[in-house]
Structures are given as structure tokens and as C-alpha cells.
Structure 1
Amino acid sequence: MSTKLTLTIDETVIRQAKSYAKLQESSLSSIIENYLKSLVKEKTTSKNEFSPIVKSLKSSFSAQPDFDYKKELKKKLSEKYL
């Protein structure tokens, strides 16, 4: 069952979204509905599930047990930007 929903969105965004929908040969309503479905689906999936890309990378990296990710990130960012 479909129900009407009223949203308040910036006029420019609406114009751009309608153009996008037209290029996709879809309605703006269906695009928004599918987006909302994906948000709800993401919330209901387990936090331990990984995307296929992450799964493929998961075993390709190994670090020392005492590896401090935050310390290394801070060091590399300092080298790059300071």
C-alpha cells in the first residue's frame, strides 16, 4: 500500500533530483523509496557483516599485535600536512 508523504526540500535540490530521475528513467518517488529502503536495510543487518570488497581485503593485511593504528595515522598525517 502506498501512502503520500510531504517533504520540504530546497528547490534547487528538487530540480537536480528530477533531472537525475529522468536520466535514470525512473520517478523521483521510486528513487527516494529505494533510498529509504536501503537505509532501513542497513540498520537491520548485523554489524558484523562486511561488504564483498571489505571481505576480500580482510585477509590481505596483517599487523603486529602491538600495532597502534591511531598513533600511526597521526604520524603519517603529520608528515603529510605539517
Structure 2
Amino acid sequence: MTTKLTLTVKKSVVERGKIYAKSTGRSLSEIIENYLGTITQESSSNELSPKLRKIVGVVNLPKDFDDKKELKLVLEEKHLRVRFL
């Protein structure tokens, strides 16, 4: 069963969404429905998303790899580089 939903979204975002939807051969409604389904999906913390499951094992990281530390370094570099350029 489907239901109608009214949203208030910036016009520029809607236009970009329509362009994206057309380029991927989907409707804007389908994209929004899939997004809402994904972010509200209940899953255990151990369950991998289908996208993540596809890439598991592709990269071999050292045993002592600290993903939080690496993310922090990348974000600091990104934001500091932009700020001081």
C-alpha cells in the first residue's frame, strides 16, 4: 500500500533530485522511499549493509588500524586545507 506524502524542500534541492533521479532511471519518490527505508531499517549492530558486504575483504588493513583516528586525520586535513587556502 502506498500513501501520499507532502514535503517542504528547497526548490534547488528538488531540481537536483529530479535530475539525479532521471539520470539513474528512477523516480524521485522511489529514491526518497529507499532512503527513508534505509535510515529507518532496524538491524543488529553486527549486521552489514548490502553495500558494505560487497567490499568486505577487498582491503587488508593492519591489525592495529584505528579507523576513528584515520577519519579524524582525514577530516582535519580536509577542513584545515580549505580554511587556510
> Which residue among 42, 46, 49 is the counterpart of 2:47?
49
The 1:16/1:9 distance shift into structure 2, 3 A limit, reads same
Pairs within 5 Å for 1:1-82: 1-41=1-41, 44-50=42-48, 51-52=52-53, 53=55, 55-56=56-57, 60-63=61-64, 73=69
Structure 1 residue 60: Cα displacement: 4.0
Identity level (%): 40
Letter in 1 for 2:62: F
C-alpha distance in structure 2 between counterparts of 1:21 and 1:45, whole Å: 27
Q: How much does 1:21 deviate? A: 1.0
Greater Rg over alpha carbons, structure? 1
TM-score, normalization by structure 1: 0.61
Aligned residues: CA RMSD: 2.6
**Residue correspondences, number:** 65
Q: Which runs of 5+ in 2 are unaligned?
A: 81-85
1:27-72 CA distances to partner (integer Å, 9 max, x unpaired)?
111111111111122xx1111234333x427974223xxxxx6xxx
Gaps of 5+ in 1: 64-68
CA distance in 2, matches of 1:59, 1:23: 34
